[in-house]
Structure 1
Amino acid sequence: MKKIIIYSPCDGNIQEIEKLNDGVFSTKALGDGFYIEPKTFDIKSIFEKSVITQIFHTKHAFYIKSDEGPIALIHMGLNTVKLDGKPFSFMVGENESVDINKSIVKINVIDNENIDFVTPIVFDSTENKDYKFVIEKTGEVKQGEQIGYMYFDVEEVVNYEKQIVSNKNQFENIALEINKYVGTSNNYNNFYNCMTRLRMDIVDKSLVDLEAIKKVNKVKGVIWNGQELQIIFGGVVVKVKDELSKIQSSKTEKSFGKNKKNFKEIVFGFISGVMVPVIPVLMAAGLMTAIRAILIQSNVIEDVKLSYGSNPKYLTDYSIASGVVYILCQTGLSIVGIYFCYSTIVYLKGNGVMGIFIGLTLSSHFLFNGMSWELFTIGTFSVKLQAYNSSVLPMIIAGFIYFYLDKWVKNWMPAAVDIVFRHLLVYAVTVLAIFFVMGPIFGLIEIGVYKIIEYFGYIPYGIGTALLGFLWQILVLTGVHTVIGNIVILATNATGNDSGLYLTMAFAVMGQVGAAIGVAIRSKNNKVRNLAISSIPAGLFGITEPIIYSVNLPKGKPFIYGCIGGAVGGLIRGFFSLNASAVGGAGLLRVTAVIDSGWLSAVEYLIICFISIAASMILVILFYEERINEKKETFSLIRKLQSLFKSTKKDYKNDLISLKSNLEKVLSKENLTRIKSFESVYIKSLNMEQNQELIHKKINLLEEKRIVMIKKIKEKVKIEKINIVIQKYKNKLEDLTKALQLNKSTIKESRKWLESLQDQYMLLIEDFIKSVNNLDISIFKNNFYNVIHSFDISYELSAKQDVTYNYKVKRGLIKNEKKQLSI
C-alpha cells in the first residue's frame, strides 16, 4: 500500500472535516479532508513536494498538487471570497514548485480581526483516483507536523490484475495439460477444431491418458473415432486450439507415425478443418451486405457499380459512405476464394502466407470486372483466362496443388538453391496450372452446365425452373454459379426476359433461408440455434454462404430440404409465368427486377419467396431430427433384418421375434420418458454453462475497466458503481454455479443409468448376432450402436460408428450363408 504523508500547513487546531458544520465542506461534497483553525498565518504546503496548480482570482483559495499525484483545495476562511483578496499575499505563482518549508501565502489578520480564517483542506474526489485519506492527529499541531496520510491500494489493483491474467492464461494451461496427456506433440500428427471439439490424429493410443484429460478444466467429454481423439470443450474450443497452436509453433518435435483414415473421415475432417475457419468471414461480410442492401433501398447510400470501360466509374466517384460500406461488404465476399486457399494450405500444415499470395494472384485485380483473355471458343461460348476471386473450388484445388507440389520439390531440390528457387517454382506452377489447365477444365464444365440450365428455362409448367431451384445451391458449392449467374444476368439485361432463370436463383436462396429457420426452431442446442439465427438476415438479402457452410451443409438434410424449397419456388414461378424484366437486387430485393411489370408481379414475387421459405422450413420441422428416435429406428433395423432373412435359406423368424420382444422391454415407455427427461436436464446444463461463460466475460471486462479507472484518476463513485455491478454478477455466477452443480449431479446419475441401459441393449444385439451362426450379420452392430447411443452422439459425447449395409452387402451376406450351409 502506497502512502503519501500529509503535513499541517501552519500552527493551529486540526479537526475532521465533518465537524466543521458549514453545510458544504462538512458534507464531503467537495471531498474528504480536515480543517485547521490557524494560530500562525504563514501557509505552507501540506505535501512534501508539490506544485501550485491554480490560485483563485479572489486569492482566498488555491489548488495544490503533490508530485505523487493527489490534489488538494486549501480554502482560507469560509466567507473570505467577499474580501476580494485583500488579506492574502501570495509568495509564489501558479505552476511554481513548493515544499513544506516554503511560504505559499501570508494572511494579514491585523486589519481583519473580525474575520474567521478557519481553513478547510479537502482532497477533490473528482481528481484523486481511488486515494483514501486517513487523519492520524487532531487538536493542537505545529506547521510541518504529520497529521495524516493518503494511500493508494496498489495491492488491490495487483490482485485484480493477477485475477485477469489468470483468466487469460487458463486456456494456455489447458492446452499445456492436453499436450502433456496425449503424449506430447510427438504423438499427434494433426489437430483442428469444429464448433465444439478439439480433434487430434493420434499416433499411439496407448500413450494417451484419457482419465487425466477428462479432469482437465473445461473438458466436457472425450471420444475416440478410429485414431482421432475428440475432446469436447464447447464454444471455448477455439481458444484452446489457438493456445495449442502456439505450443506447437514453439517446438520442433516431429511425429513418428502416420494414421490411415477412411474416405468419410478425410472428407469430414476436411470440411471442419477448411470450412470452419472461414465461417466468421462469411458471417460478418454476409450481414454487412444485408445492411448495405437496406441502406441502398432506403436511399441512405448509393449502389456502387464499378466499371473500367469506355465510360469508367470508379469508387471515388461515389460518396465516402457509399464507398466505405461497399469495401466492408466486398472484401469479404468478392475475394472469398482467397480465404479458402489460405485455409486449405493451413489445414494441410503448409505455408499459409503462400496461400494468401496464390489466392491474391488468382484473384488479380487486373482480371476483375469481367476482364479476361479468351483461350478458345466452343460455339458461341468462350473459355477464358480469368480471375477466380469468388470461386471456392478452384482456390481449394490451388491449395492442394501448392502443398503437395511444394512437398515433392523439397525432396529433390538441393539445399543450396532451395530457399531461392523452390517457392518461385511451386508458386508459378500452381498459378499457371489453375489459369491454363484447371481454368479451361472448369470453363468446359461451365459450358456444359450452362447449356443444361439454359434448357431448363424452356421446359414448360415450371418444371425446368424447379430443377434449377433444386440444383442452384449445389452449383454454389462448386463456384460454377458465378459464371452462369453472370451469363443469365447479361441475357436478362439485354432481352428483358430471363425465362424464369434469374428469379429462380433468388428462390433457391430463399429455400436455404427457410431451412435455416427450421433448424433454429427445431434445434435444442443453443449454439446451433444462435448460429442459424445470425445467418438468416444475410440470406434474406441474397447471401447464402453463411447459411450453407455454417448451418445447412454440416447438418446434411437441411441443405437438401433447402434445395427442395428452391425447387418449389421455381415450380410456383412457372404457375404464375413470372419473369424478370430487368436486373434487380439480390434476395428479397430482387423484387425490383419485376416492378416494371406492375405491382401485381412484385406481390407475386414476394409470395413465391415466402412459399420457398415456408416449404423448406416445414420440411425441416417435420422431418429433420437432431437425434434419431431409439424405438422407431430400432424397429426400422429389425425390418431390414426381416427383409434380409426372407432371402436366406434358414428361418430366423423366432430369433428375430425374441430379439424384438427383448428390445421392447429395454425401450419401454418408462425408459424412453426417462431418456427425454435426462435430455431436458442436459440441455438446461448446457445453457447454464453458456450463461456461466458469458458472466465470466462480463466480470473480466468490468474488472479490467476498474483497473484502468483506478490508474487514470477517475471518480470514486464510478468505481464503487462498477464494484456493485461486479458483485451483482458474482452473486449471479455463484447461484448459477450451485444450480449447475446440482444439475451435474443429476446428469452423472442419469448418465450412469443410460450407460447401463445401453449395455443391456447391445448385449441383446450381440447375443442375437451369435445366434444367427450361419449368417454374419455383425455389420449391423454399428447400426444398432448408433441407435441406442443416439443421445450421446447427438450431444457429441460419443462418436457415431460407420455403417456400410446396402444392397451389395446384402447379396454378399446371402452368398456367404449358402457357403456356410453347404459345408
Structure 2
Amino acid sequence: MEIRLYSPVNGEIKELEKCSDQMFAEKMLGDGFILIPSSNNFRGFTDIATVTMVFETFHAYSFDVDGLQFLVHVGMNTKPLKGVGFTTELEIGNIVNKDDDLFTVDLDYFKKNDLSKETAIVFDINDLNSYKINNLKIGRVKQGDLVCTITYEFISKNEKKILEPSTDSKEFFNISNKYENSAKLINKFVGGSSNYEEVYNCMTRLRFKIKNKSLVNIDELKKTNLVKGTVWNGAELQVIIGQDVYKLKDEVLKLNNQTIGVKNELGLVSEKISITRKMLAMFSGIMAKIIPVMVGAGLIQAIIAILVQTNIMPNIIFKTGSKDGVLIAEANVGWVILFIIGISTSYFMGIVLAVSAANYFKLEGLMGVALGVILCSPLLFGDGGRLGMGNDFLILDLGTINTGNPVLDDITKIRINTMNTKIFVIIGAIYTAKKLDTWLKRVIPVALELMFRPFIVIALVCPLAFFGYGIAWNFFETLFGSLIFYIGKIPIGIGVGIFVGLWQVAVIFGLHMMLGIIVMIDNLANGGHSVYGISSISVWAQVGALIGVILVTQNAKLKKEAIGMLPAGFLGITEPILYGINLPKKRPLVSGVAAAFLAGAIASLLNVTKRANTGIGVFQLIGFFAEPQLGGTAAISPIENGLFYLLACIISISLAVLFSMMSYKERASEKTLLTKTIKSLITFAQLELNLNKDEVTKIKEELNQTMLNLDKTTLKLIKATEKNIQNWLKVKEKLNSVIEKEDSIKTKIIEKGKILIAKSKFELADIYKIRYQSIDNSKVIAVLEEQIDQLFKQIDLDKLNESIINIERTIIKKIYDLIHIKKSILKDVENIIFNNLNSVQIYYNLLKSKEENINLNLLIANLKQENLKQIKR
C-alpha cells in the first residue's frame, strides 16, 4: 500500500531524528518527519483522512489514513499553553482532504514566549510488517507540496495468529506472550485506547465503553485468535473471550499505562491535575514502593531483638560507650551478617528512596542508584555519629550561643551529613537530576552524551544536595526540634504529651531524627533514661486509629488493605499505615495524634521513662522493665516502669480506636461540602464587591433557601445509593480475592513448568500442566459475577443523576443571579459544586471529578491581606 503526504503549511522539513524532543527523535511514537512552520494555517497533509482525536489543548491531533494512525503534534512543551495560540473546528469523525483547513497556530505568540515551533508528523509502526518513507523532501516547502510517499505492509493474519493452548507441555509453558499480543490487537481494533472511556470485564467478556463506534473494526476483531465473538449493548462493546478474560484485561490495562506514560511526557494526556494533588500523588507514589522493604527489614529487626533479649545474640554496636555492646569489628561474622541484613535498609533507606524517586520521575538508567549511594554513602557513616545514623562534618561555626535550648544552640553550627533519613532532600535531588538530565539531552551532541551527561548530572546535583538542600533542611530541622524542645517543657505532662503526639507527624516528613536528638540529650543528662523516649506510645495510637477504620469502614477494599498493614504496625513500622491510610484519610491520623498526646501525658505523670533499647514494636516493651543504662536514678522501679508503659500503650491504642471510630467518615457528605462552598463564596463576594451587611444577609437567605432543594428525600436517595454501591463493592472484592488466589497459584505453576522445560524434564512438566488445567474456579466466579450484576442493577444512578442535575442547575442559576463577580471565577465554582453534589460517585470511582482551578479560601486570604495593606496606607 502507498499513501502520499503533503506539507500542511509553508515551512521547512527536517528528519525526525533531529527533533529536540527525545520522545520523537527516538521514534517512541512512530516514524515520520519534523516540520518547522512559517505560516499559521494548517491544511490536510494527505489525500483523505479521518480525525480520530482532538486533544483538549488543541496542540495535537490524531488521524486515520488508510489504516495508518498519524499524530500531528505542534510545538514542543506546548501543553502548558492550555490551548492558547491554537484554534480549530475539527471534531472526531471528520473526514478531511489536503485542501481542508485543520487548525491555525499563532506563531507570533510562539516567538514572544520563546517556544519551539517544531511540528512532528508521525505514524504508528507497531502493526507494520514493513514500511518505507520514499523521497522525503528535506528543506523549504510550500503548503500543498508533495513531501514524500509511504509504502507499507501490515502484519499478515498468519503472523498475528497466537498459538492456542497446546497439549504439548513445551508449547504450553512457552506462550507467555499470548495475552500481551492479543491485547495489542484488540486495542487496535476497538479504535485504540483513546476510543474508549473504560475497560472492564465479567466472567467471560471484556467490555469497552466506546466513544466512537465508527472507529471499531468488528470484522478484524472477530478474527483475533482469543476472541470468540462480539456483542453491542448500547455504547458498550462486549468482546467474548472465555476464562482468559482476566489475564487479557490486565494486559490491556498494562498496555494503556505504558502508552499514557510516554504520552504524558509530551502533554498528550488531557486530564488536568492540581498542584496539590500532584504533590500528594508524587509523595505517596514514591513512598508506597519502599513500604515492602520497610516491612521486610522490620521483621528481621524483630528477630534480632528477640535474639538479643534472650542473650543468644550479642548487642552489636559501632563505637565504644555501651556497657553491654560488642563492637561490630569484634563480633562473630555470622551475627554481623544477620545484623547488617536487619539494619542496613534502615540506616541506608535513602538509597532505596532515591531509586524509587528516580523510577517515579523516570530518571534514566541507574543514575538514581548512583545518586542515592553518593548522598547516603556508607563512607560518611563512620561510627554512626551522634544519633547512630551517620557522622556529620562541621564546615562553618558562626559562634556559640546559650539559649538554654541545646537544640537551638546548635543552629550556629553549619554541618554536612549523610542524607539517609532526609526524605525531601533526596526527592529534591532526584527531581533536579531529572530536569537537568532532560535539558542536557537537548544540548549535548550525541557523540559526547555518554561521557558528559552523567558527569555533569553527578557533578552538579551532588554538591547542590549536600551544600544547598541538605544545609537548608538541617536548618529547618533545627528550628522544628527547638520548638518541640520548648513545648516538651510544658508542665503536668502536657509538654511530653505533645512531644509524643507529634512524633508520628514528624515521621511522615522525616523530621523524627531531630526529635531523636532531644531524646538522646535527655537520656545522657539523666543517666540512661528519658521521659521523651516514651514516644513509641505514638506507634500504638496509629495502629489503634487503623483498627478503628477497619471496624467502621464499609469499603471492602479499604478494609482488606488496612488489615494487611496491621502486622507491620505491631512490629513498630508505621510508615505503611501513615502513608497508606491514616494520612490520606486525615481523621485517623488526627485520632492517633490525640490519643498519643493523652497517653503520653498520663505516662509522663506516672514517671515512665525509656531505658534499654530492645528493638521496636512489641519488643520495645522489654526495655522499659530495665534499670537506667548509664547509672542514673529513676523515680519508679523497673517493674512499675514496664507496667505503667504497658498501661499507657493500652490507653493509647484504646483511645485511638475510639476516636477513629467516632470521627471517621468514608467521605464528606454532599450537604457539608456544598454548605462550605456556599459560605466561602459569599465571604469572597463580600470582600471582592465590598458588600454591606444587608446585601450579604439577603444573599445568604436566598442561597440557603435554594440549598433546601438538597432535601431529606435526595439525601436519603444518596445514602441508599451509597449502601448499594458498598454492597456491590464487597462482592467485587470477594471476586478479586478468588481471582488473585487462582492467578497466584497458576503463576507459580507456570514458572515451575518453564524451569522443567528448560531442564528437558517433560514428564514432570506434563504433571504441572494437568495441575494447572485442573484449577478451575469458574463456578464460584460465575456465582459472584451474577451477584455483582444483580447488585449493580440495584444502584439506580440514573435516578440519582437526574435529581442531582436539577439541584445543581437551580443552585448555579441562583448564584449567577445574586453574585456578580468575575465570570471566570463563577465558572470554576461550577466545577466545585459539581464535585460537591456528586461526592458519592466520585469517592467510589464511578464518576471523574472536575478540576478545581481555584481555592476560595486562598482567594479570601489574599483579599483580606490586600485590604489590610490598604488600611495601613
Structure 2 residue 349 is matched with structure 1 residue 363: no
Counterpart position of 1:317: 331
In structure 2, give the amino acid aligned to 1:359.
G
d(CA) in 1 for partners of 2:216 and 2:595? 48
Structure 2 residue 815 is matched with structure 1 residue 769: yes
Q: Deviations over 1:56-98 (max 9, x none)?
A: xxxxxxxxxxxxxxxxxxxxxxxxxxxxxxxxxxxxxxxxxxx
d(CA) in 2 for partners of 1:806 and 1:406? 38
Aligned to 2:840, which of 788, 791, 796? 791
Counterpart position of 1:740: 788
Counterpart position of 2:437: 406
Sort the Cα spacing of 1:763 and 1:445 in 2 relative to 1 into closer, same or farther, 3 A: closer
Measured after TM superposition, the shift of residue 460 of structure 1 is: 0.9
Match runs of 1:388-467 below 5 Å: 388-413=419-444, 417-467=448-498
Q: Secondary structure at the match of 2:709?
A: helix
Measured after TM superposition, the shift of residue 604 of structure 1 is: 0.8
Q: Secondary structure at the match of 1:373?
A: strand
Residue pair 2:295, 2:573 contacting (<8 A) in 1 also:
no
In structure 1, give the amino acid aligned to 2:394.
E
Residue pair 2:735, 2:781 contacting (<8 A) in 1 also:
no
In structure 1, give the amino acid aligned to 2:664.
Y
Sort the Cα spacing of 1:433 and 1:806 in 2 relative to 1 into closer, same or farther, 3 A: closer
Sort the Cα spacing of 1:170 and 1:506 in 2 relative to 1 into closer, same or farther, 3 A: farther
d(CA) in 2 for partners of 1:613 and 1:337? 30
Aligned to 2:855, which of 791, 796, 804? 804
Counterpart position of 2:714: 667
Counterpart position of 1:470: 501
The structure number with the bigger radius of gyration is 1
Q: Deviations over 1:544-587 (max 9, x none)?
A: 22222222223333223322233223222232232234444333
Deviates more, 1:399-408 or 1:774-783: 774-783
TM-score of the pair, normalised by structure 1: 0.64
Counterpart position of 1:615: 655
Structure 2 residue 278 is matched with structure 1 residue 266: yes
Counterpart position of 1:375: 395
d(CA) in 2 for partners of 1:254 and 1:638? 37
Aligned to 1:509, which of 512, 525, 539? 539
Sort the Cα spacing of 1:355 and 1:769 in 2 relative to 1 into closer, same or farther, 3 A: same
Gaps of 5+ in 1: 1-152, 185-205, 218-232, 817-823
Measured after TM superposition, the shift of residue 258 of structure 1 is: 9.2
d(CA) in 1 for partners of 2:515 and 2:701? 59
d(CA) in 2 for partners of 1:790 and 1:592? 47
Deviates more, 1:460-469 or 1:661-670: 661-670
Identity in percent: 24
Aligned to 1:566, which of 591, 596, 606? 596
Residue pair 1:286, 1:546 contacting (<8 A) in 2 also:
no
Residue pair 1:579, 1:594 contacting (<8 A) in 2 also:
yes
In structure 2, give the amino acid aligned to 1:695.
E
In structure 2, give the amino acid aligned to 1:391.
K
Match runs of 1:714-733 below 5 Å: 722=771, 726-727=775-776, 729-733=777-781
Counterpart position of 1:222: none
Q: Deviations over 1:407-437 (max 9, x none)?
A: 4445555555443233212202211222223
Q: Secondary structure at the match of 2:491?
A: coil
d(CA) in 2 for partners of 1:309 and 1:364? 24
Q: Deviations over 1:477-514 (max 9, x none)?
A: 333322441552364156326552121x2122222222
Structure 2 residue 293 is matched with structure 1 residue 281: yes
Q: Deviations over 1:750-784 (max 9, x none)?
A: 23333333323323323433443657766654444
Counterpart position of 2:619: 589
Q: Deviations over 1:205-261 (max 9, x none)?
A: x99999989x999xxxxxxxxxxxxxxx99999977765676699x99983779775
Measured after TM superposition, the shift of residue 337 of structure 1 is: 1.3
Residue pair 1:475, 1:481 contacting (<8 A) in 2 also:
yes
Deviates more, 1:553-562 or 1:167-176: 167-176
Residue pair 1:344, 1:399 contacting (<8 A) in 2 also:
yes
In structure 1, give the amino acid aligned to 2:716.
K
In structure 2, give the amino acid aligned to 1:424.
F
Residue pair 1:391, 1:479 contacting (<8 A) in 2 also:
yes
- Point out which structure has higher relative CO (alpha carbons under 8 A, 6+ apart): 1
Match runs of 1:673-692 below 5 Å: 673-692=720-739
In structure 2, give the amino acid aligned to 1:373.
F
In structure 2, give the amino acid aligned to 1:600.
E
Sort the Cα spacing of 1:210 and 1:330 in 2 relative to 1 into closer, same or farther, 3 A: farther
d(CA) in 2 for partners of 1:301 and 1:357? 34
Residue pair 2:753, 2:765 contacting (<8 A) in 1 also:
no
Structure 2 residue 542 is matched with structure 1 residue 495: no
Aligned to 2:347, which of 308, 312, 334? 334
Residue pair 2:298, 2:342 contacting (<8 A) in 1 also:
yes
Q: Deviations over 1:284-304 (max 9, x none)?
A: 334443454445445565544
Q: Deviations over 1:327-380 (max 9, x none)?
A: 443343322212222232333332251111011011111111223432234536
d(CA) in 1 for partners of 2:260 and 2:859? 45
How many positions carry a matched residue from both structures? 620
d(CA) in 1 for partners of 2:250 and 2:285? 12
Q: Secondary structure at the match of 1:520?
A: helix
Structure 2 residue 363 is matched with structure 1 residue 350: yes
Deviates more, 1:419-428 or 1:657-666: 657-666
Q: Deviations over 1:163-202 (max 9, x none)?
A: 7654576777788789932389xxxxxxxxxxxxxxxxxx
Q: Secondary structure at the match of 2:855?
A: coil
Sort the Cα spacing of 1:548 and 1:565 in 2 relative to 1 into closer, same or farther, 3 A: same
Sort the Cα spacing of 1:180 and 1:810 in 2 relative to 1 into closer, same or farther, 3 A: same
Q: Deviations over 1:107-164 (max 9, x none)?
A: xxxxxxxxxxxxxxxxxxxxxxxxxxxxxxxxxxxxxxxxxxxxxx973546754776
Counterpart position of 1:155: 167
Counterpart position of 1:531: 561
In structure 2, give the amino acid aligned to 1:737.
E
In structure 2, give the amino acid aligned to 1:566.
A
d(CA) in 2 for partners of 1:501 and 1:420? 51
Residue pair 2:703, 2:815 contacting (<8 A) in 1 also:
no
Q: CA RMSD in A?
A: 4.7
Counterpart position of 1:756: 802
Gaps of 5+ in 2: 1-164, 197-209, 228-244, 386-390, 401-408, 628-636, 687-692, 868-873
TM-score of the pair, normalised by structure 2: 0.61
Sort the Cα spacing of 1:656 and 1:366 in 2 relative to 1 into closer, same or farther, 3 A: closer
In structure 2, give the amino acid aligned to 1:314.
I
Counterpart position of 2:95: none
Counterpart position of 1:544: 574
Residue pair 1:362, 1:388 contacting (<8 A) in 2 also:
yes
